[in-house]
Amino acid sequence: MRMPIFSLLALVVAAALFAAFLAIGNEYLFFAGYVVVQYVVIATAWNILGGYCGYVNFGTGAFFAVGAYATVALHKLQNYSENNFPPAVAEVIAVIFPLPIPVLILIGGLLSGIIGLLMGYLTLRLRGVFFAIATLALAVVLQTLVVNWDYVGGSRGATILRPPTTSLFGMDYIHYLFALMLLLAAISIIIARGIERSTFGYGLASIRDDELAAEAAGVPTLRLKLACTAISGALMGMAGAPFPYYVGYVEPASTFSLIYAVNAIAMPMVGGTAGWLGPLLGSLTLGSLQQIASVTISSEASLLLIGVILVAFVVLAPRGMLGWFDRLRPKRKGMVATGGGH
Amino acid sequence: MTAFLEIDAITKKFGGFTALDNITISVGRGERVGLIGPNGSGKSTVVNCLSGVFSPELGAIRFRDQDLRGLRAFERTRLGIARSFQLPKPFRSLTVAENVRVPLLYAGRGRSKAIDEQCHDLLTRVALHDKADWLPAALTQVELRKLELIRAVATEPELLLADEAMAGLSGSEVTEIVAFLLQLSDDGVTIIMIEHIMSAVMSFSNRLVVLVSGKKVADGDPQVVVKDPIVESAYLGQ
Ligand SMILES: Nc1ncnc2c1ncn2[C@@H]1O[C@H](COP(=O)(O)OP(=O)(O)OP(=O)(O)O)[C@@H](O)[C@H]1O
Ligand SMILES: [Mg+2]
Report the nearest atom of ligand 1 relative to the CA of B45: 18
Identity (one letter) of the amino acid at A199?
T
Q: Note the pLDDT of residue A340.
A: 32
Backbone angles phi, psi at A182, to 5 degrees: -60, -45
Q: Note the pLDDT of residue B88.
A: 94
Asked whether the predicted pLDDT for residue B155 surpasses 80, the reply is: yes
- The pLDDT tens digits of the residues spanning A246-294 come to 999 999 988 888 889 999 999 999 999 989 999 999 999 999 998 888 8
Give the pLDDT band (50/70/90) at residue A88.
confident
Asked whether the predicted pLDDT for residue A342 surpasses 50, the reply is: no
Of residues A213, A220, A339, nearest to B138 (C-beta): A339
A288 located within any domain: no
Asked whether the predicted pLDDT for residue B203 surpasses 80, the reply is: yes
A326 located within any domain: no
Q: Note the pLDDT of residue A339.
A: 34
Q: Confirm or reject: Cβ of B74 under 6 Å from ligand 1.
A: no
Helix, strand or coil, per DSSP, at residue A179:
helix
pTM listed for this prediction: 0.91
Cβ contacts of B212 within 8 Å, gap of 6 or more: B37, B38, B41, B234, B235
Of residues A202, A220, A337, nearest to B102 (C-beta): A202
Q: Note the pLDDT of residue A25.
A: 84
Asked whether the predicted pLDDT for residue A335 surpasses 50, the reply is: no
A278 located within any domain: no
Average pLDDT of span B152-165: 95
Cβ contacts of B110 within 8 Å, gap of 6 or more: B118, B156
Asked whether the predicted pLDDT for residue A164 surpasses 90, the reply is: no
Q: Note the pLDDT of residue B235.
A: 65
Q: Domains plus CATH for chain B?
A: 1-80+159-238 (3.40.50.300), 90-156 (no CATH)
A187 located within any domain: yes
If residue B22 lies in a helix (H) or strand (E), which one and from where to where?
A: strand B17-27
A28 located within any domain: yes
A262 located within any domain: no
Do residues B6 and B200 make contact, with C-beta atoms less than 8 angstroms apart? no
A260 located within any domain: no
Per the structure, how many domains does chain A have? 1
Asked whether the predicted pLDDT for residue B114 surpasses 90, the reply is: no
Q: How far apart (Å, rounded) are the C-alpha atoms in residues B108 and B115?
A: 10
Which has the minimum average pLDDT: A42-46, A75-79, B7-11, B16-20?
Answer: A75-79
Q: How far apart (Å, rounded) are the C-alpha atoms in residues B40 and B4?
A: 27
A17 located within any domain: yes
Q: How far apart (Å, rounded) are the C-alpha atoms in residues A230 and A191?
A: 13
Find the domain containing A29 and state its range: 3-255
Do residues A253 and A163 make contact, with C-beta atoms less than 8 angstroms apart? no
Asked whether the predicted pLDDT for residue B110 surpasses 80, the reply is: no
Give the pLDDT band (50/70/90) at residue A300.
confident
Residues of B in contact with A216 (CB under 8 A): 51, 73-74, 77, 82-83, 85, 152
